[in-house]
Amino acid sequence: MKLYDACIAPVILAGVLLSTDVHFSTHSKNKTELDHAGIVQVMSCETGPGIGLKASTNGLYGLDLQYGLTYKPNATWSLSVIPKLGLSATSQEVKELPQYVQFGLGIQLLVGYEEYRLGLEVWHLSNGSALGLNVSDRPNIGLNLPLLTIGKVF
């Protein structure tokens, strides 16, 4: 596939988002107030350039640009690695995030059997204070959230 070819094979995934107390900028004694949540993801494609949307039941949302690399040893099985970069938003105040809109960064692993997918993703939310992008006077602790999903390619 060429870099500029667009793949339109939507992937819909649903699963669980796990809240964690793993933070990069502060000691892990800072306990998160977020609960585990259900999450739904829709991606334009798992291979090549694409976009993805996330929505969780605890009020976290994401819009990502992504580029998937897929290995298919045969017609039945596939393995995709998908780095992601985008924006995230919250519907309410979150202690770890000083702003309602911030960056999202992640990497997803999709294991496929025929049209079904099992996904594992790590999603990092931060306002980019390390890059000097914090416009709030509140501290930027950041969130690191694992997602476990299952879904289908259409």
- What are the distances in angstroms from CA 109 to CA 60, 71, 89, 102? 20, 11, 23, 23
Tell whether 140 is covered by a domain.
Answer: yes
Tell whether 1 is covered by a domain.
Answer: no
Tell whether 103 is covered by a domain.
Answer: yes
Specify the DSSP class assigned to residue 5. -
- pTM as predicted: 0.87
Distance between CA 4 and CA 11 in Å, rounded? 20
Kindly report which listed range (41-45, 77-81, 111-115, 133-137) carries the lowest average pLDDT score. 133-137
* Count of domains observed in the chain: 1
The CATH number covering residue 116 comes to: 2.40.160.20
User: What is the residue whose two structure tokens read 């669980």?
Assistant: 16
- For residue range 38-50, list pLDDT tens digits in order: 999 999 999 999 9
Which domain range does residue 50 map to? 11-153
Tell whether 16 is covered by a domain.
Answer: yes
Tell whether 110 is covered by a domain.
Answer: yes
Distance between CA 35 and CA 79 in Å, rounded? 30
